Chain A
Amino acid sequence: MAVVAVLVRKPLEQVSGLLRRRFHRTAPAALQVTVREAINQGMDEELERDEKVFLLGEEVAQYDGAYKVSRGLWKKYGDKRIIDTPISEMGFAGIAVGAAMAGLRPICEFMTFNFSMQAIDQVINSAAKTYYMSGGLQSVPIVFRGPNGASAGVAAQHSQCFAAWYGHCPGLKVVSPWSSEDAKGLIKSAIRDNNPVVVLENELMYGVPFELPSEAQSKDFLIPIGKAKIERQGTHVTIVAHSRPVGHCLEAATVLSKEGIECEVINLRTIRPMDIETIEGSVMKTNHLVTVEGGWPQFGVGAEICARIMEGPAFNFLDAPAVRVTGADVPMPYAKILEDNSVPQLVEIIDSDMLLPTKRG
C-alpha cells in the first residue's frame, strides 16, 4: 500500500503536445480552454446563431456572471438578450418557462442549483411535464444551467448535488459535463434541443483548462445528449462517473495501472437519458463495476446504474457486486478536513478498485 500512502490530491492537468498555434499547417492546433471559457463560447455561438436565444438569471449581465461564466455577453448582446433578474428564483424560472412556451429559447441560470429548489415546481411541473400533458401540443425549449454539487467550504445549504433529483423526472433531459469539450458540446446541444434540459456544471471545474480538439472549435460542434464517453480504455474494471469525479477516476486509473490494474473510465456526460448500453458493453468486457459520484448514496446516480446493470445482460458478466463510491450521507460540513472526507476521494476510488478481485498480469 505504499502507492496509496504516496498519493497526494493534485489538481488535474491534462498536458498535450502543441500549446501554440503555428501558421502554414493544415490542421489547427489544439487549444487550452477552461471549462468556463468553453461554456461562454458555447452560449455566445448559440446567441449569435439564433435570435430567439436569450440568457436570464441573477448577475448574468452587468456583473458578467456570478462565476464570470457569462463574461462579455451583455456587452455584446445588450439588455434585451442578457437579462439581470431580481432574487426571485420561482418568479424568473416561471417567466423563463412561459417565454419558452411562447416561442423563445431561454437559458435560465441558477446561481447554484441549490437555489433551483425554490423554483423546482416551475422546472418540473411547468417545464418537464408540459409536452406530455399537452399531448405533444406545447413544447418548452428551455435550458436550466448553473453550478451543481460541492464547492469549497460553502457548507451544507450550498453544496447539494441535484443529479439524482432531476434525473428522476421523465420529460427532463439532464447533462453533467466534465471537460471543456463536454461543456461546450453539451451546452450547445442543450440550447438547440426542443426539450427542457438541465445542465449541471461544477464550480470547481470552471477554472480548469483542457485541450479543446480541433473539431470542438467549430461553431457547429455538438455532443449528442444521451451518449457517454469512454475516456480511458481498460480491461479489469469499469469505473463510471460524471462531472468532477471523472478527473479523479482518471488519476486513480493512472495509479492503479502501475499495480497492473487497467481501469476503463466512462464519463457519463448525460444523466438522463442514461447511456446504459455503453456501461453494459464495458462491464461485459471487464466483469467489474465501480460507480463514482459526488451526491448522496441513497437513490443516487450509482444506485440507478447498479439497478439497471442488474436488470440487463451485463449482470451475468459481473464477477463481484458493483461498488458505489459517493459523497458521505451527511449535510456537507464546513471544516476542511470534514469536507474533504465527505466527498469521494482518490483513495476511496483506488481502494474500491483494489478490493475487487481482478485479473492481474
Chain B
Amino acid sequence: MKKMLTAAVSRVLSGVTQKPASRVLVASCKYSNNATFEIKKCDLYRLEEGPPVTTVLTREDGLKYYKMMQTIRRMELKADQLYKQKFIRGFCHLCDGQEACCVGLEAGINPTDHVITSYRAHGLSYTRGLTVRSILAELTGRRAGCAKGKGGSMHMYAKNFYGGNGIVGAQGPLGAGVALACKYKGNNEVCLTLYGDGAANQGQISEAYNMAALWNLPCIFICENNRYGMGTSVDRAAASTDYYKRGNFIPGLRVDGMDILCVREATKFAADYCRSGKGPILMELLTYRYHGHSMSDPGISYRTREEIQSVRSKSDPIMLLKDKW
C-alpha cells in the first residue's frame, strides 16, 4: 500500500504537459531574465483606480508558478483517480481549472498573511505550504496526513491557513475574525477570505461584510466565481451576479481568474489597500472548474461538454502561462 502511494505521488510530480492550442500574446522576451506583459483591466466598483495593466514576470517566478500550477493540476487529477479506486472516501472537491487563483493569490501576499477558504481547498493547502505527500496522505486517511487522517479533504490546516471549511459560507465571518485579530495585534497582516458564487448568497457573508466595513478590518473578501454553485448556475441562484458589487459599501474589483498575472496584481493591489487601513475590499475571480462540484457529480448534467472543452482550449490557466514564453 505504501509503495503504491509513493509511486502515485511520484507520478503526480513528474507529469507530462498537455499540448495546448497556440495563442499570441504581447511579449518582449529575448533571452532575458524577465518580461513585461499586458494584463486585462479589472472592472472596478467604488474604486478610482485599480491594479496596473502591465506587470513584470521574472524567469524565476514564471518557472515557480508554472511548477506550482502543474503540481496542483497533477495532484487533483491523481486525487480523482484515487477516489475512483476508493482510496479516498466521502467528499472530494477538486479545483483543477482554478490553479491560477490559488497560485496567483499566494504570489500577491506574504507567508505571514492569512488565508481561509471553503472545502475546495487542496490547491490552497498546497500553496500555503503543505506538501503533496501530507495532502494525499490526509485524503487517503493516513496518519502522515496533515490532520493525522482525522480531517479529510475539507479540513486541512497549516500555519496561517485556517482550512478547509465544510459549511458553505461559515468561513466568511471566520475570515473577518482573523482580520480582526490582525488589526488587534497591529501586525500589518491581512486575511484573504475566499468563498464561492454559491456561498455569496449566504446571509452570514453579508453580516461579515457589515462588520468588516464597520470596524475597518483588513479583510480581502474573494469570491471565486466558477459559474456554478454545485449544479445551479449563477443566473439561477443570484438576483445580481455582479459578485464584486455585492459588498455594497465595500469597494470591489472583478478579475480574470484564469490569468495568474491578473490575479497576482489584483491581490497585491487589494492587500495594499487593506494594509493602508482603508478597511475591507472585495475581489471577484472569474474562473472555472473542470470537474463537477465533487467526485460524485459528473458535472455534465447542468453544463455542456462543449462549454468545458471550450474553456480548456481557450482559457486554461497553465496554458495561458506557458504561452507567455
Contacts and interface: CB of A to CB of B under 8 A. Distances in A.
A134 B173 contact: no
B165 to A, nearest CB: 7
A121 B114 CA distance: 22
A98 interface: yes
B148 A136 contact: yes
A134 B151 contact: yes
Interface string A88-112: 1011111111111111100000000
A135 to B, nearest CB: 4
A238 interface: no
Contact of A91 (B146, B155, B163, B173): B173
A151 interface: no
A23 to B, nearest CB: 43
A293 to B, nearest CB: 30
B208 A138 contact: no
Contact of A88 (B150, B166, B211): B211
A138 B170 CA distance: 16
Contact of A102 (B148, B165, B177, B210): B177
A267 B215 CA distance: 42
A138 B204 contact: no
B162 interface: yes
A95 B211 contact: yes
Nearest to B170: A126
B150 A95 contact: no
A133 interface: yes
Interface residues of B, number: 40
Chain A: interface size category: 20 to 34
Contacts of B149: 135
B182 A95 contact: no
Contacts of B277: none
B132 interface: no
Contacts of B170: 94, 121-122, 125-126
A99 B185 CA distance: 11
Contact of B114 (A83, A102, A136): A102
B148 A121 contact: no
Contacts of B185: 103-104
A94 B204 contact: yes
Nearest to A90: B204
Contact of B174 (A86, A101, A104, A134): A101
B324 to A, nearest CB: 36
B181 A90 contact: no
B147 A102 contact: no
Contacts of A83: 215
Contacts of B145: 135
Nearest to B182: A102
Interface string B110-139: 000010100000000000000000000000
A98 B155 CA distance: 15
Nearest to B210: A86
B157 A94 contact: no
Contacts of B155: 133-134
Contact of A92 (B116, B165, B182, B211): B211
A6 interface: no
A277 B77 CA distance: 53
B178 interface: yes
A137 interface: yes
A85 interface: yes
Given A135-B146, A137-B147, A137-B157, A94 B182 contact: no
30 contacts: A54-B184, A91-B204, A91-B207, A91-B208, A91-B210, A94-B173, A94-B174, A94-B207, A94-B208, A95-B173, A95-B211, A96-B177, A97-B177, A98-B116, A98-B162, A98-B173, A98-B179, A99-B178, A99-B180, A102-B162, A102-B182, A102-B191, A103-B181, A104-B180, A126-B170, A134-B147, A134-B150, A134-B157, A135-B146, A138-B157
Given A91-B176, A126-B165, 4 more contacts: A101-B178, A102-B162, A102-B191, A134-B163
Interface of A: 54, 80, 83, 85-86, 88, 90-104, 121-122, 125-126, 130, 132-138
